[in-house]
Chain A
């Protein structure tokens, strides 16, 4: 199993600003993932954070809006930049312990943009 510490747990931000979310895992993992969950909706994969290389983004998500860092095998950050009210959502980091295995999630960051 993996224990993930994600912070902040919530934030209220002004439009046009940025928020950086941190995710710390208690063990080394090859892949970390960032999801967005809009209110009452399912989880949508934003990107895969790769250690030592650029993140891989899903369709509809771009690096300029969602820059990701992955400096080592236990840590990643997701920045949501140039915030607009449409970015209000829950952001979750996740890790898998291996191929075709269960996913572990951080506690989530509830972002409200005003």
Chain B
């Protein structure tokens, strides 16, 4: 079955430093989604990428979808304490697929 790998598992950064998490799928994805889960909370949708090579930005967050549609990254510029949480990528394996497969997540800690 489809597998979605995500690295690193943990990242500790000083406030103001940048942060990047990487996601790789064993199969080609129809799209890739990113979610954020705050401590004690539930996953909240951040963004969806659909096109090969697509790049989207949300303020300090930059999301990329690889040309082969098998990998993706999330980059946060100048982290803040409000960025703390676990970031998950998730993908649908094909058009019409209704099953999301989640990566293991990257837990981000920001040291003030």
Residues of A that sit less than 8 Å from B by CB: 31, 40-43, 45, 48, 92, 96, 99-108
Chain A residues with CB below 8 A from B96, complex form: 99-100
Chain A CB within 10 Å — which of B33, B44, B97, B98 has the most?
B98
Residues of B that sit less than 8 Å from A by CB: 30-31, 33, 35, 41-45, 48, 88, 90, 92, 95-100, 102-105, 107
Query: Nearest chain-A residue to B96 (Cβ)?
Result: A99
**B42 is contacted by which of A40, A92, A96, A99 (Cβ under 8 Å)?**
A92
Chosen A-B contacts, 28 in total, with CB atoms closer than 8 Å, are A31-B98, A41-B104, A42-B102, A42-B103, A42-B105, A43-B88, A48-B98, A92-B43, A96-B98, A96-B100, A99-B96, A99-B97, A99-B98, A100-B30, A100-B31, A100-B92, A100-B96, A100-B97, A102-B33, A102-B48, A103-B35, A103-B90, A103-B100, A104-B45, A105-B42, A106-B42, A107-B41, A108-B41
